[in-house]
Copies of this chain bind each other. A is one copy, B any other.
Amino acid sequence: MFTFGNKIRLQLFGQSHSPSMGAVLDGFPSGIAIDQEKLAAFMERRAPGRDEFSTKRREADRVEFVSGVANRSDGTGDTANENAVMLTTGAPICMVIHNEDTRSGDYDRLRFIPRPSHADYPAFARFGEARDHRGGGEFSGRLTAPLCAAGFLCLEVLRQKGVEIGAHISSVGPCEDDRFDPLAPQLHIPKEKPFPVLNDEQGANMQEIIRAARASADSIGGSIECAITGVPAGAGGTSFGSLEGLLSLAMFAIPAVKGVEFGSGFAGTQMRGSENNDPYRVDGDRIVTSSNHAGGILGGLATGMPILFRVAVKPTASIGREQDSVSLPEKRNVSLQIVGRHDPCIVQRAVPVVEAAAAVAMLDILL
């Protein structure tokens, strides 16, 4: 299902080559002002065709509001005036993004030959011949555009509650960025950069790794670290409603994400309790911890310290090299070479998507 949330409901729709894609956000608070310039800037961080590493597909990714907002500057509700202040009304907000630069013909020969490590084969097994194979259909990374639009709106409300979210590339291949300060993450540093890292030297190395992969008609994976500040102690949920569980559910909706870890995560499994435990101390009026191996979450609930997690992004499945596949109707082995426009690495473009998905989950938890 392309739906998320309990108190708010997000519904995504669209396919890579459908006329449009979009998102409906239901249960969203009324009276929230939408700054369309800031929204466009947020969308731009994810948009394709913007740098040397991303697919050559060019999409404006302009977000059009179909419902749930009204122009309040003149009291009429008319949204035609582009300079007007747009406010959410409390009704479901439908946002639409048009798909313009589609080349469906590229995919005709792939209709029955699943691309390795894409969703093509299980999608065929589930939906049969009627499924939309063009560009990966509804499994395409294109669907993260409306997710970003929805996430941007959620980020606005969270900001009003004192909650901020930021992410950065934490690794590309074997090359690692610095980590956020776990007690005071520097959320805004990566946001202002075209290649969102903390340490630009490592960023340059990462870009070399991506160029090398591209030069070999190959791709490379990486990871993203995300931090959330301002979540009050005790927020979240227990057991099957844990912060870890709900954030993971949102993260795994991002194509190519294959792992999630909180705080010290997998590295923490090699630690002793005396190293991994976070001692408490009083800091003025607040209870804080001296370290943050818990990633700001204990028992599924926020500790009041920054929430920290990392997601694993697999190497882009679409590569230019010849690969083994099968022709589905006749069950015959074939050799496949994917042509078309692909990213040698999607980690940098996934950074705002991780922020957006985290924002949707956190707003649902904190409303």
Give the residues in chain B near A252, CB-CB below 8 Å: 242, 244-245, 248, 300
Q: Tell whether A264 is near chain B: CB-to-CB under 8 Å.
A: yes
Does B119 lie within 8 Å of A299, measured CB to CB? yes
Does B76 lie within 8 Å of A104, measured CB to CB? yes
- What's the nearest-Cβ distance from chain B to residue A168, in Å? 15
Does B268 lie within 8 Å of A314, measured CB to CB? yes
State in angstroms the CA–CA spacing of A319 and B301 once bound together. 21
One of A54-62, A188-196, A322-330 contacting the partner: A322-330
The total of chain A residues at the interface (CB under 8 A) is 157
User: Most chain-B Cβ atoms within 10 A of its Cβ — which of A24, A263, A293?
Assistant: A24
Does A123 lie within 8 Å of B2, measured CB to CB? no
Extra inter-chain contacts (17) besides given A1-B26, A14-B66, A126-B301, CB under 8 Å: A3-B11, A13-B93, A20-B66, A22-B66, A76-B105, A77-B104, A77-B132, A89-B138, A91-B131, A122-B234, A122-B301, A123-B299, A220-B271, A220-B272, A259-B260, A269-B312, A272-B315
Main secondary structure of the interface of A (DSSP, over half): mixed
State in angstroms the CA–CA spacing of A222 and B269 once bound together. 4
Given A15-B91, A125-B233, do A131 and B30 touch, yes or no (CB 8 Å)?
A: yes
Number of copies: 4
User: Most chain-B Cβ atoms within 10 A of its Cβ — which of A11, A233, A240, A298?
Assistant: A240
Given A123-B234, A223-B266, A301-B125, do A77 and B240 touch, yes or no (CB 8 Å)?
A: no
Does B270 lie within 8 Å of A174, measured CB to CB? yes
Of residues 238 through 282 on chain A, the ones whose CB sits less than 8 Å from some CB of chain B are 238-242, 244-246, 248-253, 255, 257-266, 268-282
Given A22-B94, A272-B218, do A278 and B117 touch, yes or no (CB 8 Å)?
A: yes
Of residues 1 through 46 on chain A, the ones whose CB sits less than 8 Å from some CB of chain B are 1-4, 6, 9-15, 17-22, 24, 26-27, 30-31
Q: Tell whether A67 is near chain B: CB-to-CB under 8 Å.
A: yes
Q: Tell whether A53 is near chain B: CB-to-CB under 8 Å.
A: no
Q: Tell whether A171 is near chain B: CB-to-CB under 8 Å.
A: yes
- What's the nearest-Cβ distance from chain B to residue A345, in Å? 10
Give the residues in chain B near A233, CB-CB below 8 Å: 121-122, 125-126
- What's the nearest-Cβ distance from chain B to residue A189, in Å? 22
The chain B residue with its CB closest to the CB of A290 is B324
State in angstroms the CA–CA spacing of A41 and B252 once bound together. 35
Q: Tell whether A128 is near chain B: CB-to-CB under 8 Å.
A: yes
